[in-house]
Amino acid sequence: MNDIAESNRCPWPAAFMRRLKRILPADGLLQKSSDVTVYECDGLPVYRARPLAVALPRTAAEVGQVLALCTEYDVPIVARGAGTGLSGGALPHPEGIVLGLARLDRIVAIDPDNRLARVEPGVRNLAISEAARSFGLFYAPDPSSQIACTIGGNVAENAGGVHCLKYGLTTHNILALKFFTADGTLHEIGGPTGEAPLDLCALLTGSEGLLGVVVEVTVRLWSRPLTTVAWLAAFRSLEAAAASVSQVVSEGIVPAGLELMDGLALSAAQDYTGIRYPEGSAAVVLAEVDGDDLAVALDGERLRAIFAAHGAFALQQASRDEDRRRLWLGRKSAFPAVGRLAPDYYCMDGTIPRRSLVSVLTEIAALSRSYGRPVANVFHAGDGNLHPLILYDAAVPGQLEQVEALGAEILRLCLRHGGTISGEHGVGVEKLDGMCAQFSAAELAAFHALKSAFDPHHLLNPGKAVPTPARCVEPGGMHVHGGRLPFSRLERF
Partner 1 sequence: MKDNDSAQAFAAAVRAAYDADTPLEIIGGGTRRAFGREPAGQPLSVAAHTGIVEYDPAEFVVTVRAGTPVAALDELLGRERQTLTVDVPRLGAASTIGGALAVGLTGPSRPYGGALRDAVLGVRIVSGTGEILRFGGQVLKNVAGFDVARLMVGAYGTLGLLLDVSLRLARRAEVEEVRDLAVDWRAAHAALRRWEGALPVTGACYADGALHVRLAGREERVAAARRVVGGETGEPALFDDLRDLRGSFFARPGDLWRLLVPSDAPWEPRETLIDWAGAQRFWRLSGDPGPVFEYATRWRGQAMRLMGADRSQGPWAPSAPATMALMGRIKAAMDPRAIFNRGRLYPDW
* Residues in 22-61 that interact with partner 1 by CB under 8 A: none
To the nearest whole angstrom, how small is the minimum distance from the Cβ of residue 446 to partner 1? 6
160 binds partner 1 (CB under 8 A): yes
The answer to whether 208 touches 426, Cβ cutoff 8 Å, is yes
* Interaction residues for partner 1, span 383-402 (CB under 8 A): 383-385
The answer to whether 90 touches 75, Cβ cutoff 8 Å, is no
Nearer to partner 1, 263 or 463 (CB): 463
* Interaction residues for partner 1, span 252-291 (CB under 8 A): 252-254, 291
Of 193, 319, 370, 488, which one interacts with partner 1 (CB under 8 A)?
A: 193
313 binds partner 1 (CB under 8 A): no
Q: Strand 29-30's sheet: what is its strand order?
A: 29-30, 53-55, 97-100, 77-80
Nearer to partner 1, 281 or 377 (CB): 377
Of 40, 424, 430, 491, which one interacts with partner 1 (CB under 8 A)?
A: 424
Nearer to partner 1, 61 or 396 (CB): 61
The binding track of 432-471 with respect to partner 1, each residue x by CB under 8 A or -, is: --xx--xxx-xx--xx-xx-xxx----------xx-----
To the nearest whole angstrom, how small is the minimum distance from the Cβ of residue 406 to partner 1? 20
To the nearest whole angstrom, how small is the minimum distance from the Cβ of residue 197 to partner 1? 4
301 binds partner 1 (CB under 8 A): no
Of 118, 166, 324, 380, which one interacts with partner 1 (CB under 8 A)?
A: 380
422 binds partner 1 (CB under 8 A): yes
To the nearest whole angstrom, how small is the minimum distance from the Cβ of residue 173 to partner 1? 10
Length of the chain: 493
Element of type H or E holding 64: helix 60-73
The answer to whether 25 touches 58, Cβ cutoff 8 Å, is yes
Taking CA atoms, 202 is separated from 84, 148, 155, 433, in Å, by 22, 24, 10, 24
331 binds partner 1 (CB under 8 A): no
What angle is formed at CA 407 by the lines to CA 405 and CA 413, rounded to 5 degrees? 105
Q: Which amino acid is at 106?
A: R
Buried b vs exposed e over 54-80: b needs ≥16 C-beta within 10 Å? bbbbbebebbbbbbebbbeeebbbbbb
The binding track of 69-108 with respect to partner 1, each residue x by CB under 8 A or -, is: ----------------------------------------
321 binds partner 1 (CB under 8 A): no
Of 169, 287, 337, 394, which one interacts with partner 1 (CB under 8 A)?
A: 169
Radius of gyration of the chain (CA): 23
Buried b vs exposed e over 117-147: b needs ≥16 C-beta within 10 Å? bbbbbbbbbbbbbebbeebebbbbbbbbbbe
Rounded CA gap, 417 and 354, in Å? 10
> Which residues, listed in sequence order, are joined to residue 420 by a DSSP beta bridge?
351
